Structure 1
Amino acid sequence: MLSTEGVKQRSHIMRRVRDFFFRREYIEVDTPVRLPVLIPEAEILPLASETWFLQTSPELCMKRLLAQGCPQIFQICPCFRKGERGRLHQEEFTMLEWYHAGWSYLELMEECEQMIQQVAGRDSICRSGKKISLPAPWQRLTVNDAFRRYAGISAEEAVRTGEFDLLLVEKVEPELGWESPVFLYDYPIELASLARPKPGCPELAERFELYIGGIELANGFSELTDSVTQRRRFSEEIRKVDNGGKPGRMPEKFLAALEELPDCAGIALGLDRLFMLLLERDCLAEVLPFTEADL
């Protein structure tokens, strides 16, 4: 169990996060945790709740709120992913997710930078004996440049040979964010997820991930608003899910709402990982009020 002082520190950080968004006139929302259908994602296993599922992300419902006219929203909520256990993973974890209408991933990277700086309230943090500087500007590094620098191969070639995920985890991620945080951006379109293609560069997606001290902390997009393209991407994920012996379903109500979604950008950030970094701990268990072993 987390100590009383640790509970106070966690509460203090949570309050600073909320204060940041309230000062910027974001609307805090709360959406259902239990859903009949989720985003089709072959690499993420949901936890079942009778015939429904516990959310792996609040994205589907939050985007439907954007589509009905909410201009900028945020949410702090529990999310669930089956089988994710380890130093940096828990099956139940706390997610911070926010969206801003009229923005692209560029504005969102800048706001994410500002949010963490203000929540940290200091100029540096220490991880593994190394000082990580927090003042802006943080480094922006394209995925292709990162792969060529640290893996000796282009990102396009890594995707083509099926090595992308392995090289990202083993060669690229451990090198990122040790002097200052790093935004890894412009992913190959094959890894776009729910991000839109980059204008003028259709082989790339306007997607980024934030790394601090070798840890992936956040994943953000310029959101795709084309329901036809999104349906095609979901169909491919469902095919992979079905081949893996797990049922997959198309989120039809979400796709219908996508027709009304304004140009916007959104980001999901692992709050427990942020707590761990700011409190300078080595694993998530050290910043959680309760772990599985405590229950």
Structure 2
Amino acid sequence: MKLLAARAKILAQTRAFFEGRGYMEVETPLAVPCPGLDVHLDAFEAVPTGIVVPEGTPPRYLITSPEYQMKRLLAEGHGRIFQITRAFRAGELGSRHNPEFTILEFYRPHAGVEAIMRDTEQLVARVTGGWVRLGDRTIDVRPPIDRLTIVEAYRRFAGIEPEETLRLAEHDEDRFYRLLVDVVEPALAKLDRAVFVTEYPATQASLARKKPSDPRVAERFELYVAGVELCNGFGELTDAREQRARFLHDQAERTRLGKPVYPIDERFLEALAKGMPDSGGNAIGFDRLVALACGTTSIRDVMAFAADEL
């Protein structure tokens, strides 16, 4: 039996949570000129059928995240905003992935990562009651949730010293990710408390600003609950010139890997140049949040239909 009634209740709770904290709900387009340049994400092209498309019309892609458009709204002065929408990522199907899924994104101008982490942990506590129960396990998700830097996690669980972790992230990304997936994340899954993993290497955060006191790392965090990566949050990069350089790097890397190379979103960069305020933001896998609140790690249990059920 699908847990759809519980999902509907959590959806209402989430909206009430953000509205009670002064956030405005927004809606941005699903089909966009650039779906994002993250090297590890691939998009679906939205191909019109049955109509004549004017020559020179650029292609549209289904969003992998509403991030670019929401940041444009920040630059226009819209203040605290949130959105619960559908997102699409090709090649993702499993107990925690689906090609079409629900994403919750929220942004706060004039706020840093600590403020965003506080909002996140309070939301998780609201919808779970402070505890996630998975079979005979009970995971404590009450605020304040522990913070653990990525280099501390690698040292504690993989025996890798901080300097070596940062070196791997820059020069041997494959090994960096193998250690993360094979060693660090399984260790995080055994913890009986949720944990924010923070300060990812700057090379692993193309849209986050670098930490002023240590530019080798970025203001990026992820929340892990029972091994489930629940979110990906940033202190947002607002420098248009640096963001363009990172986009060009990502395009070159996608070319090297033989992946589709999407165009740079020039209007997003124009918004940064115009002046997006210092902001923090977070993208939460809403299906994963609902699943954990319902006592499962499988998003299929809380979706009306997964891709292979259609």
TM-score range, shorter chain: over 0.9
3-state secondary structure, aligned to 1:75: strand
| TM-score w.r.t. length of structure 2 | 0.91
3-state secondary structure, aligned to 2:200: strand
3-state secondary structure, aligned to 1:258: helix
1:246 is aligned to 2:254 = no
3-state secondary structure, aligned to 2:230: strand
Tell me the CA shift for residue 247 of structure 1: 2.7
1:157 is aligned to 2:167 = yes
3-state secondary structure, aligned to 1:74: strand
Q: What are the Cα deviations for residues 32-83 of structure 1, in whole angstroms up to 9, with x where unaligned?
A: 0001122212210001101310000000100000000011000000000000
Q: How many residue pairs align between the two structures? A: 291
| TM-score w.r.t. length of structure 1 | 0.95
Which one of 103, 111, 128 corresponds to residue 95 of structure 1? Answer: 103
Matches within 5 A, 1:139-178: 139-153=146-160, 154=162, 155-159=165-169, 160-162=171-173, 163-176=175-188, 178=191
Q: Tell me the equivalent position of 2:56.
A: none
1:255 is aligned to 2:269 = yes
Q: What are the Cα deviations for residues 59-112 of structure 1, in whole angstroms up to 9, with x where unaligned?
A: 010000000001100000000000001111100000000000000111111110
Distance 2:81 2:9 in 1: 21
Contact 1:242/1:248, CA 8 A, preserved across alignment = no
The residue type paired with residue 158 of structure 1 is L
Q: Tell me the equivalent position of 2:217.
A: 204
Tell me the CA shift for residue 128 of structure 1: 4.9
The residue type paired with residue 172 of structure 1 is V
Q: Tell me the equivalent position of 1:60.
A: 68
Distance 1:71 1:123 in 2: 29
Contact 2:228/2:297, CA 8 A, preserved across alignment = no
The residue type paired with residue 161 of structure 1 is D
Distance 2:185 2:12 in 1: 30
Q: What are the Cα deviations for residues 137-195 of structure 1, in whole angstroms up to 9, with x where unaligned?
A: 21100000001111121321331333111111111112226321100001111112211
Contact 1:67/1:262, CA 8 A, preserved across alignment = yes
Q: Tell me the equivalent position of 1:47.
A: 44
Give the aligned CA root-mean-square deviation in angstroms.
1.3
Q: Tell me the equivalent position of 2:283.
A: 268
Distance 1:127 1:245 in 2: 38
Contact 2:36/2:262, CA 8 A, preserved across alignment = no
Q: What are the Cα deviations for residues 231-262 of structure 1, in whole angstroms up to 9, with x where unaligned?
A: 11100100112231413311111001012100
Matches within 5 A, 1:1-295: 3=2, 6-50=3-47, 51-120=59-128, 122-153=129-160, 154=162, 155-159=165-169, 160-162=171-173, 163-176=175-188, 178-243=191-256, 244-259=258-273, 260-295=275-310
Q: Which runs of 4+ in 1 moved over 4 A?
A: none
Distance 2:36 2:90 in 1: 15
Residue 149 and residue 212 in structure 1: after superposition, are their counterparts in 2 closer, same or farther (change >3 A)? same
Tell me the CA shift for residue 132 of structure 1: 0.6
Tell me the CA shift for residue 115 of structure 1: 1.0
Identity among equivalent positions (%) equals: 39
Residue 282 and residue 100 in structure 1: after superposition, are their counterparts in 2 closer, same or farther (change >3 A)? closer
Distance 1:63 1:180 in 2: 32
3-state secondary structure, aligned to 1:286: helix
Distance 1:247 1:290 in 2: 30
Contact 1:174/1:215, CA 8 A, preserved across alignment = no
Q: Tell me the equivalent position of 2:52.
A: none
Residue 245 and residue 294 in structure 1: after superposition, are their counterparts in 2 closer, same or farther (change >3 A)? closer
3-state secondary structure, aligned to 2:253: helix
